[in-house]
């Protein structure tokens, strides 16, 4: 009993108010300065990696692969430093970390799930900066990978923010997987009586003449019958663009070249005379 009572004053002294005595004004100011310096450093790192990617195009995807890991590593190191500054002892430091983890777990469950999702994305790497991906209904180029969310820019220049938790629950379709080139699929819809051989030849030549073509990859043209209000012949052209950033430009170029030839041959005359045209099926149909 005497041993227990001799330790009780020490336990009573370790109150939150006594611990706050160690959190001085200068410690708080130092912590804020460290956070400000980290914010500036992260912005500088992002610009540095962007500059390296533009200066060394061959290493653009490797540079973008390293950027999110370095950025997140800096923030973890800074949080460790700030906790070390504000905690008077190692026990207090561990208690503060545990308390913060408990508070986040109870009060910000979605945020914690998104952060865990961000760590899973960094470890599993279903995509990286610069990849062209489809996540849910969003399709575009990945330009930011953070702890909470991933951002991509669509071909029509719309910025889409996707929480990392949603990414774990959706299929991710990656068009290029860390390499510059990717496959471009262009669909053209023709009258049902169009000669398939002529359509295949024009489609192949339109892709072959495109200035965006990666010539060492194959060109594939296929035709299929379809029906949407009226019957039609679908011409699907698959070719590779040398840089995925020119995917929309290549689709437009192939469409323009092939359509001009079909018009010249009079193949589209029936639809030009006022006949109904089919609704465009969704990609992948």
What pLDDT, on the 0 to 100 scale, is given for residue 285? Answer: 44
Tokens representing 220? Answer: 């594939």
| CA triple 174-179-181, angle to 5 deg | 85
For residues 29-39, give the mean pLDDT: 85
* Domain contains 279: no
Q: Say whether pTM exceeds 0.75.
A: no
Asked if 233 and 225 count as a contact pair (C-beta separation under 8 A), the reply is yes
Residue 278, domain member (yes or no): no
Q: What is the average pLDDT value for the chain, to the nearest integer?
A: 79
Of 236, 113, 96, nearest in space to 168 by CA: 113
The answer to whether residue 39 is domain-embedded is yes
Higher pLDDT: 214 or 271? It is 214
pLDDT over 80 (residue 67): no
Angle between helix 60-86 and 90-107 (nearest 10)? 120
**142, 174, 206 — which closes off a domain?**
174
> Mean pLDDT throughout 191-204?
94
Examine residue 283 and state whether it is found in any structural domain, yes or no. no
The CATH number linked to 169 is: 2.30.30.60
Does one domain contain both 60 and 137? no
Q: DSSP readout, 78-129? A: HHHHHHHHH-SSHHHHHHHHHHHHHHHHHH-HHHHHHHHHHHHHHHH-S--T
What percent of the chain has pLDDT above 90?
Answer: 34
Is residue 234 domain-resident? yes
Residue among 207, 209, 190 nearest 198 (CA): 190
- Please tell me whether residues 170 and 188 are part of one structural domain: no
Higher pLDDT, 17 or 80: 80
Higher-confidence position of 272 and 268: 268
pLDDT at 106: 57
Give 233's pLDDT tier (boundaries 50, 70, 90): very high
Is 246 inside any structural domain? Answer: yes
CA dihedral of 55, 59, 65, 69, whole degrees rounded to 10: -60
- Name the residue range of residue 50's domain: 2-124
CATH of residue 190's domain is 3.30.70.100
Shared domain for 170 and 266, answered yes or no, is no
Number of domains the chain contains: 3
For residue range 171-195, what is the model confidence (pLDDT) as tens digits?
899 988 888 899 999 999 999 989 9
- 73 and 111 together in one domain: yes
Domain presence at residue 277: no
């Amino acid at each position: 009993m005497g041993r227990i009572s001799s330790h009780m004053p020490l336990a009573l002294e370790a109150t939150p108010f006594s611990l706050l005595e160690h959190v001085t004004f200068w410690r708080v100011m130092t912590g804020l300065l460290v956070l400000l310096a980290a914010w500036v450093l992260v912005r500088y790192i992002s610009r540095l990696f962007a500059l390296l990617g533009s200066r060394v195009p061959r290493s653009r995807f490797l540079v973008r692969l390293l950027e999110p890991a370095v950025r997140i590593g800096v923030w973890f190191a800074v949080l460790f430093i700030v906790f070390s500054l504000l905690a008077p002892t190692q026990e207090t430091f561990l208690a503060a970390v545990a308390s913060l983890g408990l508070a986040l777990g109870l009060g910000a469950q979605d945020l914690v799930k998104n952060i865990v999702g961000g760590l899973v994305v960094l470890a599993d790497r279903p995509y990286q900066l610069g990849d062209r991906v489809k996540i849910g209904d969003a399709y575009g180029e990945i330009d930011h990978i953070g702890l909470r969310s991933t951002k991509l820019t669509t071909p029509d220049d719309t910025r889409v923010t996707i929480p990392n938790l949603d990414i774990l629950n959706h299929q991710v379709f990656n068009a290029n997987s860390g390499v510059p080139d990717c496959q471009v699929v262009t669909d053209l819809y023709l009258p049902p009586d169009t000669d398939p051989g002529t359509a295949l030849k024009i489609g192949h030549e339109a892709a072959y003449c495109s200035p965006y073509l990666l010539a060492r990859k194959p060109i594939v043209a296929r035709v299929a019958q379809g029906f949407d209000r009226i019957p039609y012949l679908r011409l699907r052209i698959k070719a590779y663009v040398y840089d995925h950033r020119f995917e929309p430009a290549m689709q437009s170029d192939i469409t323009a070249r092939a359509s001009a030839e079909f018009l010249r041959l009079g193949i589209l005359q029936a639809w030009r005379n006022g006949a109904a045209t089919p609704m465009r099926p969704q990609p992948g149909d």
